[in-house]
Amino acid sequence: MKICIFIDGPVYPYVVGGAEIFAHQLAQQLSNREYEVHLIGISRSPRTRPRYNYYLHLLPSVKFVGKVIAISKMVLHRFNCDVVLSIMGHSATIGFFLAKMNRIPHIIRFAGEHIISIKDSIYLRLGLLINSHALYIALAESMKKKMVNMGLPVNRILVIPNPIDDRFYKVSPAYDTHNILYVGRLERVKGIDMFLKSFLMVKKAIPDSRLIMVGNGDLRSFTENFVRTHDLRDSVILVGKVPFEEIDKYFNLASLFVLPSRNEALPNALLQAMAAGLPIVATKVGSVPDIIVNKKNGILVPPANPRKLADAVVSLLSNKNLAKKLGKQARKDAEKYKVNKVVDIYEKLFQVLSHKQ
């Protein structure tokens, strides 16, 4: 079976984000199962193309019309795919055309930010006019509800979560430390400014607590200035951007994971923290309450509330038994996100669709 995967943007490892990692993992795993997989995306990097089992096709970063023409020519003249999977964006509209012209099944997978994007909503509605028979994938039930509100038929939406690498399940949390881990972009929507304020409160209660921040973003300078102003150089470690293959080692250093976002879909870092067996403090936003049950496998707090966040962090750093209990349950709940289990779902879906042609 031949499977074409479109991603509207730079492909892994040129950019390491949830969509890029997912596309790479799915393509690699399916190729290992002897499927012919073609991953098509954009390259803005001069780096040498990595070698994987799947076929990687990189297009230049061009405007939308040029992108449509380039991808259409590539797929129409070089591939005869059995199934088209689009990672939502321009690629979904292109996929609609290609699936319609070649009479093959088309699946559109939403990433979290696409649920709130006006631009992607327009592309989606355009696609619906062209081909109303596509299937849609949401990452969580709350995302599915938003997709229904956008006009998608409820009976054509499947809920399939992101897969998590097995290596995260092998992490041993550092419960004997007071190390707090954050993994993600340094941006306001991620609640970084509020998180730093809450950390000052945590430091007053637990002086030897440390904050490890993995990632980069628009608030990098703000974060550096905050650290200098409040004399936190020995307490806040700004790791910066880290290759996906190396992220798990930072989970080994932590005794607690925090997700302080103001708005969120279903972040990979949260699932990784669950798989790592880390106790979690997360804001009650987006799809987070779909997977974090308050005081069962983590603690949920309201967004943009530094005091509530700090209190939750202090409660876990001060109570190892509670932290271990929540972490153990989080790891158990994360079993369903293992790569093989998620890829099994996609494989069965592709097989069913290809047999219906």
Q: Which residue has the higher pLDDT, 45 or 146?
A: 146
CA distances from 108 to 90, 160, 161, 343, 348 (A): 11, 12, 14, 16, 16
Q: Which residue has the higher pLDDT, 68 or 240?
A: 240
Residue 270 confidence (pLDDT): 96
User: Where do the domains of the chain lie, and which CATH numbers do they carry?
Assistant: 2-162+338-356 (3.40.50.2000), 166-337 (3.40.50.2000)
The mean pLDDT value for 260-287 works out to: 93
Residue 170 confidence (pLDDT): 97
Given a cut of 70, whether residue 329 has pLDDT beyond it is yes
Please state whether the peptide bond connecting residue 161 to the residue before it is cis, i.e. omega within 30 degrees of 0. no
Given a cut of 60, whether residue 326 has pLDDT beyond it is yes
Residue 142 confidence (pLDDT): 87
Q: Tens of pLDDT along 14-47?
A: 666 788 889 999 999 999 999 999 888 776 555 5
The mean pLDDT value for 65-83 works out to: 64
Helices (H), 213-283: 220-229, 248-251, 268-275
Q: Tens of pLDDT along 83-132?
A: 989 886 667 766 777 777 778 888 988 876 555 555 666 666 666 666 66
Q: Are the C-beta atoms of 82 and 37 separated by less than 8 Å?
A: no
- Looking only at the bridges linking them, the beta strands covering 179-183 and 256-259 are parallel
Question: Dihedral through CA 266, CA 268, CA 270, CA 271, nearest 10?
Answer: 100
- Looking only at the bridges linking them, the beta strands covering 36-43 and 106-109 are unpaired
Helix, strand, coil % in the chain, rounded to nearest 5: 50, 20, 35
Residue 300 confidence (pLDDT): 98
Q: What is the rounded CA–CA span in Å between residue 44 and residue 60?
A: 7
